[in-house]
């Protein structure tokens, strides 16, 4: 930190042992966050400090995984011309170091410019929550990054979808739809993140909500530029074709004998077991509507088993 700025920062925030100093929240490096003696602001007022870049450590749980080189160069050019308009967000660590919470693009731009220091706002909030919100408020995360960040918050805090929606300021239905993206195959998510992040978030949500056997086809269409409307139409046509095919098979099929009925039953039970395994694996994404469907399914299964026990 530049000595002049550091001295001024200490004067404004108040040293722990100085007259008129602040009793609240001493931070590493001798900084104290509390009421501002100069302006009389409250403890919630953001305080800006200038930090050495080599004291700012990257957050391994940073929501953003991919950084566009052209965008970084553009940001660096803007900072060089106009200065840093939005300080980064950091959380104090022991021994006077800091954890980067929000602003990795800004840090990388400073490094491009060969800068040694950066302006920062000190925060004590949850790193994952603040980092996610900071990214969303500035340059949108891509769909997979956003979904992965939401999933990490659920794993870390055990949030329900309603609680998570309140944390990130989104509708609960939107959160549930976004989380469903994590059920897409890993290779599809990786391909999206590395080469097709321009595919809209809405299209990815539609693909995630499609039947498993249709996802690969929809993904190929999305890579070719299919719109949300086109993806939805493809899903409708698939559903209509499946219904028509089942109706035709039922009309043409002769009355099954005992052996055919047994084979059909065994296949259905196996299919249900596979589906249950998928639901178990993705159970953290269960929303109230699907939970109600599972409860009804359990009641149906209980009724079937009860009927066999009674000799029905």
Q: What is the pLDDT of residues 184-218, one digit of tens each?
A: 999 999 999 888 988 998 999 999 999 989 999 99
Mean pLDDT of 8-26: 43
What whole-number distance in Å separates Cα of residue 168 and Cα of residue 63? Answer: 13
User: Quick check: 86 pLDDT over 60?
Assistant: yes
* pLDDT at res. 289: 78
> What is the share, in percent, of the chain residues with pLDDT greater than 70?
71
What whole-number distance in Å separates Cα of residue 176 and Cα of residue 286? Answer: 8
CATH of 3-137, one of 3.30.450.40, 3.90.1530.10, 3.50.7.10, 3.30.1220.10: 3.90.1530.10
What whole-number distance in Å separates Cα of residue 77 and Cα of residue 223? Answer: 32
Q: What is the pLDDT of residues 111-155, one digit of tens each?
A: 999 999 999 888 776 666 666 665 554 546 788 888 888 888 788
- At 251, is the pLDDT very low, low, confident or very high (cuts 50, 70, 90)? low
What whole-number distance in Å separates Cα of residue 277 and Cα of residue 207? Answer: 21
Q: What is the topology classification, in CATH, of domain 142-251?
A: Arc Repressor Mutant, subunit A (1.10.10)
Q: Which of 12-26, 165-179, 228-242 has the lowest mean pLDDT?
A: 12-26
For 193-200, which contacts have Cβ atoms below 8 Å and span 24 or more sequence positions?
193/65, 193/66, 193/142, 193/144, 193/145, 194/66, 196/222, 196/223, 197/66, 197/142, 197/143, 197/144, 199/143, 199/223, 200/143, 200/228
Do 96 and 28 contact (CB within 8 A), yes or no? yes
User: Quick check: 31 pLDDT over 80?
Assistant: no
- Domains of the chain, by residue range, sit at 3-137, 142-251
- For the record, the structure tokens of 268 come out as 């259905």
What whole-number distance in Å separates Cα of residue 187 and Cα of residue 208? Answer: 14
Whole-model pTM: value is: 0.46
User: Tokens 């200065």, residue?
Assistant: 83
List, edge to edge, every strand of the sheet that includes 56-57: 48-52, 117-122, 88-92, 98-102, 56-57
- For the record, the structure tokens of 12 come out as 């404004």
């Amino acid at each position: 930190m530049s000595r002049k700025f550091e001295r001024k920062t200490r004067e404004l925030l108040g040293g722990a042992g100085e007259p008129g100093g602040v009793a609240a929240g001493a931070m590493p490096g001798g900084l104290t966050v509390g009421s501002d003696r100069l302006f009389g602001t409250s403890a919630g007022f953001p305080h800006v400090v200038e930090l050495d870049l080599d004291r700012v450590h990257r957050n391994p749980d940073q929501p953003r995984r991919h950084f566009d080189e052209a965008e970084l160069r553009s940001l660096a050019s803007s900072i060089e011309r106009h200065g840093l308009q939005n300080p980064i967000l950091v959380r104090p660590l022991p021994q006077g170091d800091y954890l980067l919470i929000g602003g990795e693009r800004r840090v990388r731009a400073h490094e491009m410019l060969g800068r040694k220091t950066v302006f920062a706002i000190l925060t004590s909030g949850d790193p994952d929550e603040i980092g996610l919100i900071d990214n969303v408020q500035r340059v949108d995360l891509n769909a997979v990054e956003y979904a992965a960040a939401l999933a990490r918050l659920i794993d870390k805090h055990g949030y329900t979808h309603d609680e998570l929606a309140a944390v990130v300021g989104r509708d609960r239905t939107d959160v549930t739809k976004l989380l469903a993206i994590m059920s897409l195959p890993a290779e599809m998510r990786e391909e999206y993140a590395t080469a097709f992040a321009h595919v809209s978030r809405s299209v990815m949500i539609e693909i995630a909500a499609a039947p498993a056997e249709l996802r690969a086809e929809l993904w190929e269409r999305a890579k070719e530029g299919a719109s949300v409307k086109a993806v939805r139409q493809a899903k409708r046509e698939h559903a209509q074709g499946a219904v028509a095919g089942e109706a035709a098979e039922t009309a043409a099929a002769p009355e099954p004998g005992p052996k055919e009925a047994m084979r059909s039953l065994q296949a259905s039970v196996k299919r249900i077991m596979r589906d249950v395994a998928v639901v178990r694996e993705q159970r953290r994404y269960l929303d109230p509507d699907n939970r109600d469907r599972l409860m009804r399914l359990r009641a149906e299964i209980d009724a079937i088993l009860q009927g066999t026990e009674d000799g029905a």
